[in-house]
Structure 1
Amino acid sequence: MGETSSAGGGAVFEEHPLRQTLLDEVHARPFPLLEAPLRSIHLAFMNANTDAESELAAVSALFRAHGAKPPAAGARYHRSPIDIGILRWERHSEFSTYTWESKPGEDPLREVAPRGPFGDGFTQPGPLLSALRLIFLPDPGDAGLEKLLEAFDPVSLSVSEVTQGKGLFATDLKQDPQGYIRYLVVDHGMSLSRAGSVILRLHEIETYRTLALLGLPEAQAVAPRVRRMEEELSGITAAIRDTTELTANRELLARLTNLAGELEADVARISYRMSATRAYDEILQYRIDALDEKPTPGHGTLDRFLARRHKPAIRTCNSVQKRQEALAQKLGRAIDLLRARVDIDLEQQNGELLESMNRRARMQLRLQQTVEGLSIGAISYYLIGIVGYAAKGLKEAGVFPVKPEIVMGAAVPVVLGFVWMMVRRIRKHHAEHDDG
C-alpha cells in the first residue's frame, strides 16, 4: 500500500500506490491553448530501434539546446516554450511525435518551412513516418479563403466546417515539395482550447491514418500466399474424397500438416501488424467523429474522402486476416477428418495383422501338438526297443526267462505314459517361464 491521504471530513485512508498516477493520467496531455496565426510542424517517427531512455536523453538535450527545461526522469510527454516557439514531444509504444509551433510567414502554405528545432542538432528516434504542416489563420474572408485554397489540389481537396461553424479546415492529403502533408485551419471564433483540440485531432488523424496503412504492404504480400494455400487445400480435399489407400492418406495428411505449418508462420509474422492496423484505424475513426465535420458547398469532407481512399486499404487488411482464419479452420477440419480416416485404416490394418498372427499361432499350436504326438510315439518306440534289447540280453543270460516280445508288449503302455508325462511337464515348465 502507498501513502496516506485525508478525505471525507478529515478521515485518513491508506492509498493505492498507483492512485496518484492514475489520477494524473487524465490530465497528462491537455489540449493546448492555440491562437491564430500559427504554423505547426508535426512529425511522427517509428521508435522500435530506440529505447525510451536513449530517446529521453536526446529529447532532454534538444530542449536544453533551445533554452528550455528538459522533461522529468521517466517522462513520455513534454511540452514547453523554447527560444523559437513551443516544442511538444510524446513517446508512444511504437512511435514518437514531435510538434513545433511558431509564427507563419507571408505565404504560409507555399513557403519553404523552416527546420526550426529539427535541424542538424536533432536526433530522430527512428525512420520518419508522418510529416504534417498545419497553418492556423484568422478569418481571411471569402475571397482570402478561396485564394488560400488554390494552394491545394482541387481533385482531392476536402473542406469542412467544425465546432458548429466556428472553425474550418482544408487539406488535400498530398505531400508538398518538402514532404509535408498540408492542412489549413481557419478561425471563425473558436476559443483557444477549442482551436487547440481541433488542431491536436488533425495531428492525430494524420499520424494514425499513416500508421493504420502500415498493415497494407504486409496484407498485399501475404494475399497471394493465402490464395495459393486455398487452392492447394481445395486440391487436397478433392483427393481425400477419391483416396482410400492408407499410404495415399498418409501422404495427404503430411501435405495438410505442412500447409498448416506454413499458414501459422504467416499468421505469426503479420498478426501484430494486422492487430495494430485495426487499433489505429479505430482511433482514427474516433478522432474523425470527434471533429463533427460539416460539409461546405462544393467540397467533400475528410471523412468521406478517407472512406473512399483509406477504408478500402483497411478492408484489404481485414479481409486477408479473415481469410487466414477461415483457412486455418478448414485446414483443422481437413486434418481431423484425414487423421480419423488414417486411424481407422491403421486400426483395421492392425486388426487384420492380429488376426493373421492368431491364425499363425493356431497353426503353430496344431503343428506343435502334432509334433508332440509324433515325438511321444518316436521316443516311446526307441525306449521300447531299448527295453526289448535289455529283455533279450537278460533271457540269453538266463536271468529273466520271459520272452522279450512279452516284455516289450507290457512296456508299451508304461513307456507311453511315462513319455507323455515328461513331455507335459516340459511344456508346463516352458509356459510358466514365458508367463513369468
Structure 2
Amino acid sequence: MPNDFLPDHPSRYALVNELHARPFPVLRVPCLAAYIAIKEPESAHNRDRAADRAHLLALLDRHGSAHPQPGATHFSGEIGRAGLKWESHTEFVTYSAFTPGLTPRAFDPAEAEVFPADWLAAAPGRRLVSVLIRVEPMPPSHAEALAKLDDWFVAESLALSEVVDGAAIIAGDFRIDAGGHMRFAVFVRDGVGERRVGRIVQRLCEVETYRAMSMLGLSRARELSGRLNALDPRLSALVAALDTRDRSPEALLEDLLDISAELEALSARFTFRFGATAAYEAIVSQRVSVMREERIDGRQTFGEFMMRRYDPAMRTVKSTEERLKAMTERAARAAELLRTRVDVERSAQNQRLLESMDRRADLQLRLQHTVEGLSVVAISYYAVSLAAYAAYPLGKAAGLSKEMLTAALVLPVIGGVWLMIRRIRRAMH
C-alpha cells in the first residue's frame, strides 16, 4: 500500500534512530583515551540539560568545532588532535577523548589535559568517573605483558584477562591514582579491527561508569541502615504492646502513625536510588560477560574481581532495600492488628451498651405498668365521684344512702376504666 494512504507513526524514525544513537568509537592502535562522567551531587533526575549543552559547546568553541543538533543526546566531533564523543544520560553526562599515539610515560597525568582544568571547573556537576586508557599493540608474550602490568598497577587488586576470543588483553586495578584517574591498559593483537578496539575501550568505560553509579546506592544504604536501626526497636516494642492492656489503642495508634509516616518518607526518598542501583548492576554484569574473558596465568579476571569486591556491596544495597520493605510491611500488619483490637473492644462496648439499653427498657416497661396502675386508680377515683353524683337521685329514690351508692359504683367503674386503658394500649401497640 502506498505511503500516501498509510502515514508513519510520528515516533517511528526517532525510535529506529535510537538504536544507532550511541555508536562505538573507531580506534586505531596505538592510542590514548581519556574519559570523564559528570553528575549532579544530589538529585538524579533534575539535571539541567541546557547547562550540559552549554558546557559541551564551550569545549567545542575552544577548538572551532561544529555544534551538535538542538536537543541531541550524543555527539561526535574533533577537538584538536583528539576525537570527542559526548553522551547525555538520564543521571549523568560523559565525555570521551581519543588521541592517536602514546606518551613515553604510561598514564601520564598530561593525557587528561585534553579536558582543560578551567573548563572542568565550570562543569554543571561533579566528576564521578575519570579514566585513562592506554591502548597499544600486544607484546610478543604474556610474560612481557605481565611485566608491564605489574609495573603499572597494584598487584594485589590487578584484574586482567584475554577478551573477545583472544583479540586483546585488558587490565586494571580499579584504584584512583595521584592525578585522580582510574587507569586501564589494553593490549591489542595484530589484525584486530578498529571497530572492535573501539568496542573494547567503550565497554571498559561503561563498566567503570555503571560500577560507580551503582555504588552510589551503597552510601545511601548505609545512611538508611542507621535510620532503620533507630526505627526497628520502636516498631518491635509497639508490636509487643498490642497484646497487653498497658497502653490505650489511641496511644499505640499515634506511635504507629509516626513510624509508618517515617517509613513511607524513607521509601519515597530511597526507592529511586535503589532501583537505579539494580539497573546499573545489571549493566555492569552484562558488559563484563560480553567481553568473554579468559584467564591468564592464574590471574583474577574482571568478573572475579567484581564477584569479590563489587557484589558484596550490591548485596548490602539489596538487603537494606528488602529490610525497608519488610519494616513497611510489619508496620502495615501492626496497623491491621491494632485495627482488629480496636474493633473487638468497640464491639464489646457496643454489646455492653445494648445490654444497658435492654435493662433501661425493662425498667421503663415496669415503670409504665406501675404508672398505668396508678392511672387506673386516679381515673377511677374521679369517675366514681362523677358517677355517684349522677346516680344519687336514683339512689335516694331507692332509699340508698350516698355512701352505699358510692360503694356500689366503685368496682364497676374501676373495671370499666381498666378495660378502657387496656384497649387504648392495645390499639397503640
* TM-score normalised by structure 1 residue count: 0.84
Q: Conserved in 2, the CA contact under 8 Å of 1:246 and 1:345?
A: no
Q: Conserved in 2, the CA contact under 8 Å of 1:105 and 1:111?
A: no
1:65 equivalent in alignment to 2:65: no
List gaps (5 residues or longer) in structure 2. none
Q: How many residues of Structure 1 are paired with residues of Structure 2 in the alignment?
A: 417
1:109 equivalent in alignment to 2:111: no
The 10-residue stretch of structure 1 (401-410 or 76-85) with the greater mean CA deviation from structure 2: 401-410
Distance 1:201 1:369, change over 3 A: same
Taking the aligned partners of 1:247 and 1:356, their CA distance within structure 2 comes to 26
Taking the aligned partners of 1:410 and 1:173, their CA distance within structure 2 comes to 125
CA positional deviation for 1:144? 6.6
Taking the aligned partners of 1:199 and 1:334, their CA distance within structure 2 comes to 53
Partner of residue 340, structure 1? 340
Partner of residue 316, structure 2? 316
Distance 1:254 1:420, change over 3 A: farther
Deviations 1:387-433 (A, max 9, x none): 66x679x88xx9999633245335544477458747986x799x79x
CA positional deviation for 1:231? 4.0
Q: Conserved in 1, the CA contact under 8 Å of 2:47 and 2:91?
A: no
Partner of residue 405, structure 1? 403
Distance 1:428 1:70, change over 3 A: farther
Q: Residue type matched to 1:127 in 2?
A: R
Taking the aligned partners of 2:109 and 2:227, their CA distance within structure 1 comes to 46
Q: Residue type matched to 1:51 in 2?
A: D
Q: Residue type matched to 1:342 in 2?
A: V
List gaps (5 residues or longer) in structure 1. 7-11
Q: Secondary structure at the match of 1:185?
A: strand
Superposition pairs of residues 5-404 of structure 1, within 5 angstroms: 5=3, 13-47=6-40, 48-103=45-100, 104-121=102-119, 123-141=122-140, 142-143=143-144, 146-189=147-190, 190-241=192-243, 243=244, 245=245, 248=248, 251-382=251-382, 384-385=384-385, 403-404=401-402
Taking the aligned partners of 2:135 and 2:426, their CA distance within structure 1 comes to 107
CA positional deviation for 1:139? 3.0
The 10-residue stretch of structure 1 (160-169 or 378-387) with the greater mean CA deviation from structure 2: 378-387
The 10-residue stretch of structure 1 (370-379 or 36-45) with the greater mean CA deviation from structure 2: 370-379
CA positional deviation for 1:257? 4.3
Q: Secondary structure at the match of 2:152?
A: coil
Deviations 1:158-193 (A, max 9, x none): 121112222111111111112111111112222101
Q: Conserved in 2, the CA contact under 8 Å of 1:112 and 1:178?
A: no
CA positional deviation for 1:283? 0.5
Q: Secondary structure at the match of 2:290?
A: helix
Q: Secondary structure at the match of 2:161?
A: strand
CA positional deviation for 1:381? 2.6
CA positional deviation for 1:205? 0.5
Q: Secondary structure at the match of 2:218?
A: helix
Q: Residue type matched to 2:82 in 1?
A: G
Taking the aligned partners of 1:357 and 1:415, their CA distance within structure 2 comes to 34
Deviations 1:14-33 (A, max 9, x none): 32222212222222211111
Distance 1:385 1:115, change over 3 A: farther
CA positional deviation for 1:235? 3.7
Calculate the aligned-residue CA RMSD, in Å.
3.2
Taking the aligned partners of 1:420 and 1:370, their CA distance within structure 2 comes to 16
Q: Conserved in 2, the CA contact under 8 Å of 1:384 and 1:408?
A: yes
